[in-house]
Structure 1
């Protein structure tokens, strides 16, 4: 029996979980707690408090998923004055093996620990057990990554594919691209500027400014508040989430048109990733947005744009496509990663 510590560390909150790993399949949660990250000067006292509350022995291994870049097992959190290093954490906590990984890499490992109940399948395809797997996830940004099988285990590889160029495919998307270039005074626009939470807002502003449809008072107020708070480190509203909810509920025409463009662009970019990797092991849609707009992803337009790649369509129709429903996939991935240390 091996005791593992998994952590999902963000600027606002941190979730810690103790997990037992044994010869029996699966990882079994022993204890879990959520903390306000800003209440602690460092991760070490938080973990010490957590272990004391769990009333357990020191874990054998630990893995922490970090919302930010990880270089040589060190990380500096963007919105938190923490500088983390795996060797220091190992020494101060007395844990023999400690690893730091990017939060999207943790999602990649998390795929290996999901059950069928954690997924909504958009396309069954023809699964190949030894083929690559791909991950794409729209949230604050647009994460992308992939898994390659090496021997009996998978290796997770990060990617910066979300920063590739946004490629418009019709007249409206060309107008959207020009709008983004002019609005931000830039020479190119990444796909992340369209397929992300901020992308939802940008599409909405584009349609609003062209008076495609009338605004609802509540959404208009949320968007104006966000625009007035530009430059502030913390916003009081999340207009992307509000627009998405209104579109799912079918109560706002402008929001519905916004999400239609968003879902089509999301599907097209997922198809681009699939063309580059041919992930017959499955393409997994992660991120905080997908589960919240599930009906819109299931209505057919995502898959239509995913497979709409000319003579490559037959290849893409064979790739299994799944939406991850479990919001703790990153925490699961941290535990899986810890088990492999």
Structure 2
């Protein structure tokens, strides 16, 4: 029996989970807690507080043998300086200060890659059954704050996970409207290129909305328009009162704002097109998993068909993409699951 510690570390919150791994069989979750990251000077006091609280719940003092922490930031040589915190984390220091024999730090989207290996059928919504092939690559894409992409290749009786920076590749417009949007974004942001993340992410939803509004391509409701303008006026402020992506997404789901509906239709189509681009490069007959914080929230819009239509619309390559199993990840804790799987492999 092995005791594992898994963590999902972000600028806003830190989620910790204590996991028991039998010699054979599935992992068993013993305890879990969430802490506001900015209330602590470092990860160490959070872990110490968590283990102290867990000992009261369990009736004994847990001593994890291995730990893996998924970090929202670039991990180099098992160390990372967090983007939105003043923390600098190093695996060797954490091992010493926490008394844990093996500690690993991994990028949060690499953790999602490991996490898909531990998902149940109920954690997924299948858009396309395809023709699953064992020992084939697996692709993972996820729009949230940014656009994460990772892939898995067979390794022995399991898979090895590789992170990428695929979200920063060039946005490739396909229609006259998308060419107009790229020109609009180039001029608005005064840049010489537009990445696909600029349109397929939370900020991408807002970019599409602003383009359609400013070019008067779709009509804006006064209520949603006022909220978006409030957010625009708060630009640069540390305290924002409006989440524009959530506002637009909700209005599109409830069909209360034509501009928001048009925005999400374009967003879903662009998301599907980029997922299809990734699938062409990897031919992931082990499955393509759509993770991230957005897909599950707008699932009804994705199920309308625009996503898969764009996914397979690759000319002569359509028949290849129709064989790729495509799943939406519904479990928001897939990264935490992945961190536990990674810890167990140390």
TM-score (norm. length: structure 1): 0.99
Contact 1:33 1:50 survives alignment (8 Å): yes
CA distance in 2, matches of 1:33, 1:310: 48
How far the C-alpha of 1:67 sits from its partner, in A, is: 0.7
Verify the 8 A CA contact 1:26 1:113 in the aligned structure 2. Answer: no
Match for residue 200 of structure 2? 195
- Range with greater deviation from structure 2 (255-264 or 219-228): 219-228
Q: Secondary structure at the match of 2:293?
A: coil
Q: Distance in 2 between matches of 1:154 and 1:254?
A: 43
SS of alignment partner, residue 296 of structure 2: helix
| 8 A contact 2:131–2:285 mirrored in 1 | yes
Is the aligned partner of 1:11 residue 2:16? Answer: no
Query: Secondary structure of the residue that 1:212 maps to in structure 2?
Result: coil
Structure 2 counterparts to residues 261-272 of structure 1, below 5 A: 261-272=266-277
Residue 337 of structure 1: aligned partner: 342
1:49 to 2:37 alignment: no
In the alignment, which of 130, 139, 146 is matched to residue 134 of structure 1? Answer: 139
Which structure 2 residues correspond to residues 61-210 of structure 1 after superposition, within 5 A?
61-210=66-215
Aligned CA RMSD, in angstroms, stands at 0.9
Distance 1:77 1:222 in 2: 31
Partner of 2:246: 241
**C-alpha distance in 2 between matches for 1:101 and 1:234:** 29
Per-residue CA deviation, residues 194-247 of structure 1 (Å, 9 max, x unaligned), is: 100000000000000111232222211221122112223443211111101111
Q: Distance in 2 between matches of 1:81 and 1:222?
A: 32
SS in 2 for 1:147: strand
Q: Deviations over 1:252-306 (max 9, x none)?
A: 1110000111011100000000000000000000100000000111111100100
Q: TM-score, normalised by structure 2?
A: 0.97
Equivalent-residue separation in structure 1 for 2:238 and 2:154 (angstroms): 40
SS of match in other structure, 2:298: helix
User: Whole-Å Cα distance in 2 between the matches of residues 217 and 330 of structure 1?
Assistant: 38
Deviation string 1:56-105 (CA, Å, 9 cap, x unpaired) is: 32101000000111110001111111100000000000000000000000
Task: Give the number of equivalent residue pairs.
Answer: 341
2:309 counterpart (301, 304, 312) = 304
Q: What CA distance in whole angstroms lies between the structure 2 residues aligned with 1:234 and 1:64?
A: 28
- Give the 3-state SS of the residue equivalent to 1:288 in structure 2: helix
The separation in 2 between residues aligned to 1:322 and 1:219, in whole angstroms, is 31
Separation in 2, partners of 1:145, 1:57? 33
Establish whether residue 38 from structure 1 lines up as the match of residue 38 from structure 2: yes
Q: What secondary structure does 1:59 align onto?
A: coil
- Alpha carbons 1:219, 1:239 under 8 Å: kept: no
Counterpart of 1:2?
2
Q: Distance in 2 between matches of 1:330 and 1:282?
A: 18
CA apart distance, 1:153: 2.0
Instruction: Give the match for residue 320 of structure 1.
Output: 325
Equivalence for 2:58? none
Does residue 228 in structure 1 map to residue 269 in structure 2? no
Equivalent residues of 2:2, 2:23 under 8 A apart:
no
Unmatched 5+ stretches in structure 1? none
Which deviates the most, 228-237 or 263-272? Answer: 228-237
Residues 9 and 71, structure 2, Cα contact 8 Å, conserved in 1 = yes
Match in the other structure for 2:293: 288
> Which secondary structure does the structure 2 equivalent of 1:242 belong to?
helix
The one-character-per-residue Cα deviations of 1:168-202 (angstroms, maximum 9, x if unpaired) are 00110010000000101111100001100000000
